[in-house]
Structure 1
Amino acid sequence: MRIVKLSSQSLLFPSPESALRDPNGLLAIGGDLTVPRLREAYEHGIFPWYSPGKAILWWSPDPRAVLFPAERHLSRSLKRFLRSNPFCITLNHDFAAVIAACAHRPHEGSWIGPEMLHAYLQLHLLGYAHSVEVWQQGQLVGGMYGVAQGALFCGESMFSHVSNASKCALMAFCRHFAAYGGELIDCQVLNAHSAQLGAREIPRPRHQFLQQLSDLQRKPLAPGCWLLQVLPPQ
């Protein structure tokens, strides 16, 4: 298989089934990060991930890491932590600050460059991308953002400036999303952090993740899901 170079004249992507095995999920190169192209990508289980200043790379890994909200896992220590109620958790109060914090990781590096920042801010302004913010004494200390696809939410990135902030963001969002009819959170690639919270891998093929994506895109959420609001801690 060969990596497809995207045409600037077309928004079409190759089938996710044609993605490379090594590196896992690499599907295409090039194109742009305009809202129409990003929407086309997410509708087909494809997302951009590349180093700032380099060519845009598009991915659809197999297996796919997902989190079913009902399967979210709170450890005993996290439950004790939540009982202390140290945070105020909000939805869509400051998307720009959340994605900027995800991009600024001095000790880790980041794949979120200026082009990505601008692109996802445009998605947010048009109502397609959303953020969860974690506040402590009025300061933003954690959060996450992603792209909505009906009853499926594509998680993109999260950050934490204090212990447990990003975990609390995800747990609060799981509860909120499920309450409005959300059924699945796409975590893209499994890591120790997401696995600890209940994420697991499922196959990508059309009878698994891609089929669920297609089905859930057509399921509307209850009204008010994405309105600015304060979320219960978990």
Structure 2
Amino acid sequence: MKLISGVRVRRSRGAECIRGVPEATLRGVMDTDMLLRIYAAGAFPMWDEEFDEIRLFRPDPRAVIEFDSVHVPRRLARTIRNRPFRITSDRAFDRVLDECHRERVDGCWCSPEMAVAYSELHDRGFAHSIEAWKDDRLVGGLYGVHIGSAFMAESMFSRPELGGTDASKVVLVELLDRLHAAGFGLFDVQFQNEHIRQFGVIEIDGDSYLERFESAAMSPCDWPAFD
């Protein structure tokens, strides 16, 4: 047993998990206060659909994007200059949440209970969505958790069949630009993957991540306007 910022967890079935991170399983009901404590401890939850349990992960190393060294691929930069989408924030949080989970091909990792907690976290100003619109159709988006001047990106989606090719990438670049201008200090993307590696993601060790997160969490930044 161990305690993560007031959240008691137990070792889960087996030690295997993403990138070899020690795995724990939540005991108790997920709510917004518990969700905040999990993020404040440098962890994040994922639902194991097979066993119907919420597991907590704290990757080491941790993937982040540095605001002053974002890499935008040339083709994507051309797309962004053409302004193919209308970008907003917090206009359709629940829809973005639903689309992100529906798009995953490796199984849903957000339980209905977690979705409610994220939605309530949004109502309290700690979770945000960024939306891409094409002719009033939601074609892409991203959501994550905002504590102080830290943003923990959770998931993103695109709907190319609705004209949203590269919409999630455009949203990500727009968000990085807005948060940088607003003075944010940390942009956490959890793990390296092919989709985000192209933006200049780096990995830092777990202790360094926690130091940076604690510093950012103690430095409040208002969420920027997107309209």
TM-score for both structures, normalised by structure 1: 0.85
Partner of 2:219 in structure 1? 219
Quick check: 1:98–1:143 contact (8 Å CA) kept in 2? yes
Secondary structure in structure 2 of the residue aligned to 1:50: strand
Gaps of 5+ in 1: 15-19
Quick check: 2:93–2:122 contact (8 Å CA) kept in 1? yes
Check 1:58–1:40 CA distance in 2 against 1; reply closer, same or farther (3 A cut).
same
Aligned partners of 1:11 and 1:27: how far apart in 2?
Answer: 17
Counterpart of 1:140, as a letter, is L
Secondary structure in structure 2 of the residue aligned to 1:178: helix
Aligned partners of 1:80 and 1:65: how far apart in 2?
Answer: 26
Selected match of 1:167 from 161, 166, 169: 169
Counterpart of 1:171, as a letter, is V
Check 1:213–1:107 CA distance in 2 against 1; reply closer, same or farther (3 A cut).
closer
**How many equivalent pairs are there?**
215
Matches within 5 A, 1:76-95: 76-95=74-93
Counterpart of 1:133, as a letter, is E
Quick check: 1:33–1:119 contact (8 Å CA) kept in 2? yes
Aligned partners of 2:103 and 2:58: how far apart in 1?
Answer: 25
Check 1:106–1:188 CA distance in 2 against 1; reply closer, same or farther (3 A cut).
closer
Selected match of 2:73 from 75, 89, 108: 75
Check 1:25–1:150 CA distance in 2 against 1; reply closer, same or farther (3 A cut).
same
Quick check: 2:99–2:157 contact (8 Å CA) kept in 1? yes
Counterpart of 1:37, as a letter, is M
Check 1:151–1:13 CA distance in 2 against 1; reply closer, same or farther (3 A cut).
farther
Partner of 1:36 in structure 2? 33
Counterpart of 2:178, as a letter, is H
Gaps of 5+ in 2: none
Aligned partners of 2:118 and 2:41: how far apart in 1?
Answer: 17
Selected match of 2:179 from 177, 180, 183: 177
Selected match of 1:194 from 196, 212, 224: 196
In the TM superposition, what is the alpha-carbon distance from 1:177 to its structure 2 partner? 0.6
Aligned partners of 1:107 and 1:49: how far apart in 2?
Answer: 15
Partner of 1:157 in structure 2? 155
Quick check: 1:92–1:226 contact (8 Å CA) kept in 2? no
Secondary structure in structure 1 of the residue aligned to 2:206: coil
Check 1:75–1:135 CA distance in 2 against 1; reply closer, same or farther (3 A cut).
same
TM-score for both structures, normalised by structure 2: 0.87
Quick check: 2:47–2:108 contact (8 Å CA) kept in 1? no
Check 1:12–1:115 CA distance in 2 against 1; reply closer, same or farther (3 A cut).
closer
Aligned partners of 2:78 and 2:97: how far apart in 1?
Answer: 29
In the TM superposition, what is the alpha-carbon distance from 1:106 to its structure 2 partner? 6.9
Quick check: 2:147–2:220 contact (8 Å CA) kept in 1? no
Secondary structure in structure 2 of the residue aligned to 1:175: helix
